[in-house]
Amino acid sequence: MKRYIENRKIAELDEVVHTINEKKVTPQIKKELEKNKNIKLEIIDAIEDRHKLELFKYFNEKFWKIDLEKMPLNSVEIRFGKSTNFLNKIYMIKKIGDKEYVVISSLMVIPEIIYKIILSSYIYVTPFLLILMLILSYFISKKMSVPIEMLEDISTRMVKSDFSKSIGFKGENELAVLGKNITSISINLKKNNDELKKLNEQLKFELDKNKKLMKNEKEFINSISHELKTPIAIINGYIEVLQDKIIVDEKEIEKIYSVMYKEGLYLDKMIKDLNSCYSYEHEFFIVKKEKFNLKKFLQEILNKYLLDIEEKNIKLKVDIEDAELEGDLKKLDVVVNNLLTNSITYTDFRGIIDITFKNNTLIIENSCEYISKENMEKIFKPFYKLDFSRKRKYGGTGLGLSIVKNILDLLQYSYKVSFDKERGFFIFQINFK
């Protein structure tokens, strides 16, 4: 620091000396130099300024100790002297002629003083700077650590197959690019993961569906074999009786033929119902909708059952609104026929059947024996009959309601069955909305 301050001051004074060499120093120039450069300038002529020279020689011998006469032309000598406790005085002496000298003096702060001032300022400023640096370091580290923590968080989530979080870094630095890349990877993984979940769910659904279908088919086949066993056994038994001529009475033989004929009709009906049930259950038929008048449609179907209703002394009540609907008439014909057949077949001693249609809702209900909740849950199963001993008390194949269910599911109509305990009525309701 000392050398720097001294060299800088010497350079300033040397610049002044160089100016004096180039042009003659007039009183005005001297005054301007002293004012602008903050110096004291003296040009001493050894011949003309005897008094100045004597004074100059005194200082020289006492302080500077320079042999002026032996100084080479244009040579420079520099000396330092103490002025006050804080300031030094620098002298620059240059020989510009045989008997001419330039003496420039200027004040200069003592370097040691500057050092002490700086050192003392460090003592007071350093704690503040240290605190400031710590605060800045905290915020800088926080700014740097937050993206890293976010990267760590999202990578941990990705390990756990959680792709819900993304990173929105701004900028083009390394962390921002890394964050964007990880976000892209996360988005792609989420997309692939969602597709895999959908495929897994679909596969699971198909497997469950196939499993259920296999189970239903197994039960269906078991039920078919059980249902076929009885009429076949009856027919085979009577054939053996006829072949062995155990019964010879013609009237008895006619009865046997009548029973065999009925059993044959039963088998024929069962096969037809089986075909219908299987077809509707597997949606083999295309739905063909057309507009129709429901009142007229139901009346035509009811006309086919008037003799059966009269024969069983059934009290039929019909309350149908005149309404135009749209649907598949052939399939609805199968549904209503099955429901009416069941109502006529399973009505109890009271013999009541009510048919109503209001607000696009068809209700067919009939008085019948008590049906438990457990049996109501099985009502749509193939070959399920209310005569639990399977003695075919009511006749029929037990496929009617199963066919109805499959058709209504195919047509996408909502429906429900219930048993009214207080009234003792079986109720089937179809909503055409």
Helices (H), 382-429: 400-411
Flag whether pLDDT at 308 surpasses 80: yes
Could you tell me if 103 and 56 are in contact, meaning their C-beta atoms sit under 8 angstroms apart? yes
Angle of the 27-37 helix axis to the 2-22 helix axis, nearest 10: 160
pLDDT band at 362 (very low <50, low <70, confident <90, very high): very high
Phi, psi of 199 (to 5 degrees): -65, -40
Amino acid identity of residue 180, one-letter, is: K
Q: What DSSP letter does each residue of 58-82 carry, written as one string?
A: HHIIIII---STTSPTT-EEEEEEE
Given 93, 109, 125, which residue is the final one in a domain?
Answer: 109
Residue 228 forms part of a structural domain: no
Flag whether pLDDT at 355 surpasses 90: yes
Residue 143 forms part of a structural domain: no
Helix or strand (DSSP H, E) at 223: helix 174-243
Flag whether pLDDT at 389 surpasses 50: no
Residue 211 forms part of a structural domain: no
Mean pLDDT of the chain: 76
User: What digits encode the pLDDT tens for the residues 229-245?
Assistant: 666 777 777 787 778 77
Given 109, 143, 165, which residue is the final one in a domain?
Answer: 109
User: What digits encode the pLDDT tens for the residues 105-156?
Assistant: 787 766 666 666 677 777 777 788 888 888 888 887 777 766 677 777 777 7
> Which residue range is the domain that position 44 belongs to?
2-109
- Report the C-alpha gap between 60 and 68 in whole angstroms: 9
Residue 185 forms part of a structural domain: no
Q: Quote the pLDDT of residue 364.
A: 93
Flag whether pLDDT at 78 surpasses 60: yes
- Report the C-alpha gap between 170 and 180 in whole angstroms: 9
- Report the C-alpha gap between 421 and 137 in whole angstroms: 82
Span 165-184, mean pLDDT?
Answer: 69
Span 12-22, mean pLDDT?
Answer: 73
Flag whether pLDDT at 299 surpasses 80: yes
Could you tell me if 163 and 194 are in contact, meaning their C-beta atoms sit under 8 angstroms apart? no
Could you tell me if 386 and 394 are in contact, meaning their C-beta atoms sit under 8 angstroms apart? yes
User: What digits encode the pLDDT tens for the residues 211-232?
Assistant: 876 776 665 565 556 556 666 7
| pTM summary value | 0.43
Residue 56 forms part of a structural domain: yes
pLDDT band at 423 (very low <50, low <70, confident <90, very high): very high
* % of the chain surpassing 70 pLDDT: 72
Residue 296 forms part of a structural domain: yes
Flag whether pLDDT at 391 surpasses 50: no
Q: Quote the pLDDT of residue 177.
A: 72
Minimum mean pLDDT among 94-108, 193-207, 279-293: which range? 279-293
As to burial, measured by CB atoms within 10 angstroms (0-12 exposed, 13-18 middle, 19+ buried), residue 317 is: exposed
Q: Quote the pLDDT of residue 102.
A: 80
Span 177-203, mean pLDDT?
Answer: 80
Residue 266 forms part of a structural domain: no
Span 52-63, mean pLDDT?
Answer: 58
As to burial, measured by CB atoms within 10 angstroms (0-12 exposed, 13-18 middle, 19+ buried), residue 342 is: buried
Span 194-201, mean pLDDT?
Answer: 86
Phi, psi of 25 (to 5 degrees): -90, 110
Span 407-417, mean pLDDT?
Answer: 87
Domain count, the chain: 2
DSSP state of 289: -
Flag whether pLDDT at 257 surpasses 90: no
Residue 95 forms part of a structural domain: yes
More confident call, 92 vs 58: 92
Could you tell me if 295 and 320 are in contact, meaning their C-beta atoms sit under 8 angstroms apart? yes
Residues 6+ apart with CB under 8 A from 56: 44, 68, 101, 103
Could you tell me if 103 and 50 are in contact, meaning their C-beta atoms sit under 8 angstroms apart? no
Given 78, 109, 140, which residue is the final one in a domain?
Answer: 109
CATH code assigned at 307: 3.30.565.10
